[in-house]
A and B are shown apart, each in its own frame.
Chain A
Amino acid sequence: MQQNILLMLSNKLIVFIIISFLLACDSNLIYQKKDFIFGTMIEIKIYGEDKTKSDIVSSEILEEFHRLHQLLHSWEKSSITEINQAILKKQPINIDNEIIHIIKDAQLLEKKTQSLFNPAIGKLIALWGFHSDHLPSSIPNRKKIINLVKSFPKMEDISIKDHLLISKNQNVQIDLGGYAKGYSLDQAKKILRQNNIKNALINIGGNILAIGQHGNRDWVVGIQHPRAPNAIASISLKPGWSIGTSGDYQKYFLAEPSDTSNEFILVKNQRYSHLINPHTGFPENKTQSATILIPPSDNSGVLSDVLSKPLFIETKDQKITLAKKLNINHFLIIMADGSVMISQNMLNEINWYDEPDAKNIITD
């Protein structure tokens, strides 16, 4: 009898040993969830929490993303499209505190970036055909573009008084395509904090926010090569840091340039990306990608989303001045010819997979 009890105990002991071996495996410490919102991939990774808690928290985050998607969408019915319709009709519209906060924040960022980040050019983006789930295939009428640029819609045209929003420029149409993902990252950060999750990684369409660490090492993210199907390098994100890239390789179409008056243009298939220069009305084509790292702050998600755009659009010789002005110490810019501009701070942290030959290292 006693022997049987011992046998049972030893069996239990073995099962216990197996389970503890399995739990010791790293893969069981990582919780992963993927979804498709904002027209892009969402990836949530949580390190070192039990599965039930991770499930609950990540569902809460995804729910918040769905809410923001419906709140901020640029062309499907949302609070933003309601505002845009009111502006077209020259009517004032009542908006809630969250939208007030977002619009005021966008106004500040627009000012800071000398309108290189301009979320009021929804009309221009729609004209280029990027307000659709399908990519456009042709270049819009040049006159229409020029007319829109001349009227120069900007966030400053919007004024808010007692929850009432009015725009003095009828061409203002808000498009938060370059803001919403970053804002969502910051919201996710709040949810993680409320739930006391210490280690997580959130990726919304390439915009990534790191919370804490992956075990005893930092979270490591790859940086996409703009012209090859692999990562060009990887970088460790210290706790609280975020990374954002503006690239011409995600949303673009190829077409012949509309300017056929110039016989010398031999470029048959010019690339037209969704990154439109608000000052010219045309997609910027001298840069392939601009990647930035943003240190921890309450709005680091927004900054990582917003500030890569001005750096992408700005002319080559002005990029460094702009980066300095915007306090971006970590940047990696790949120009149209494949040459690389990289800040010394970024170079110190980067691990190349495909090291570029031509590197212009920016020391400050």
Chain B
Amino acid sequence: MQKILLLIRDFKPGDWIIIIFFLFFILMTIKFFLNFPNGQYLKIQKNSEVLGIYSLNQQNIKIIKGQRGVSEIVINNGKVRFTKAPCKKQYCIHQGWISKINQMIVCIPNQISISIIGDKETHDSINY
């Protein structure tokens, strides 16, 4: 404790600028991510390969075959979660529901990931 105080006393103005700047940056980043809007689509990936993009506006169960076995993903009107996974620790299931853009759950043993995307990310343009 004493050492830390001594260290702080030796700080130069430049150090303070850097510290304040990064604290501010971290706070803004947290705020930015908390404010993410709800997504419109679910993206399911196996490693980096996209297996499918599905609307969140439905009640549906997706059964996906991964590296180890079968993962079960439930879409429930705007939110998504894992409900079955072929692994011991079941971390992905304990993550619960996700619904905001860029939220993501990865099941590492089975190499399946689910993420939420918004309208913008689903297509660059529209054909009509």
A residues contacting B by CB (< 8 A) are 3, 6-7, 10-11, 14, 43, 45, 201, 203, 205-208, 214, 219-224, 231, 234, 243-245, 247, 249-250, 291, 351-354
Contacts and interface: CB of A to CB of B under 8 A. Distances in A.
Interface residues of B, number: 19
A231 B13 CA distance: 55
Contact of A243 (B50, B52, B54, B127): B127
Interface string B37-57: 000010000000010111100
Interface stretch (B69-77, B80-88, B92-100, B118-126): B118-126
Most A C-beta atoms less than 10 A away, residue of B14, B21, B53: B14
B127 A10 contact: no
Contact of B128 (A6, A206, A234): A206
Top 9 A-B residue pairs of the complex, sorted by shortest distance between their CB atoms: A224-B128, A206-B128, A222-B123, A10-B14, A222-B126, A351-B53, A203-B125, A220-B123, A234-B123
Please report whether the interface of chain A is mostly helix, strand, loop or mixed according to DSSP: strand
A221 B21 contact: no
Nearest to B53: A351
Contact of B127 (A11, A45, A222, A352): A222
Interface in B16-61: 17-18, 21, 41, 50, 52-55
Contact of A222 (B17, B54, B125): B125
A205 B125 CA distance: 11
Most A C-beta atoms less than 10 A away, residue of B12, B126, B127: B127
B127 A208 contact: yes
8 contacts: A3-B13, A10-B17, A10-B18, A14-B21, A45-B125, A203-B126, A234-B123, A247-B128
Interface of B: 12-14, 17-18, 21, 41, 50, 52-55, 122-128
A101 B54 CA distance: 45
A46 B21 CA distance: 34
Nearest to B125: A203
Given A6-B12, A352-B54, 19 more contacts: A6-B14, A10-B14, A11-B17, A45-B125, A203-B126, A206-B127, A219-B125, A221-B124, A221-B125, A222-B123, A222-B125, A223-B126, A223-B128, A250-B128, A351-B52, A351-B53, A353-B54, A353-B55, A354-B55
A202 to B, nearest CB: 9
B77 to A, nearest CB: 15
A249 B126 CA distance: 15
Contacts of A222: 122-123, 125-127
Nearest to B21: A14
Nearest to A203: B125
Contacts of B17: 7, 10-11, 14
Given A10-B18, A220-B122, A3 B127 contact: no
B55 A234 contact: no
A234 B53 contact: yes
Given A220-B122, A354-B55, A291 B127 contact: yes
Contacts of B53: 234, 351, 353
A20 B12 CA distance: 25
B14 A245 contact: no
Given A6-B14, A10-B14, A11-B17, A231 B125 contact: no
Contacts of B14: 3, 6-7, 10
A243 B41 CA distance: 23
A354 B122 CA distance: 14
Contacts of B123: 220-222, 231, 234
Given A6-B14, A7-B14, A14-B21, A223 B55 contact: no
A214 B124 contact: yes
A337 B17 CA distance: 67
B128 A219 contact: no
A14 B128 contact: no
B125 A201 contact: yes
A140 B14 CA distance: 80
Nearest to A220: B123
A248 B17 CA distance: 62
Contacts of A3: 12-14
Contacts of B55: 353-354
Contacts of B127: 203, 206-208, 221-224, 243-245, 291
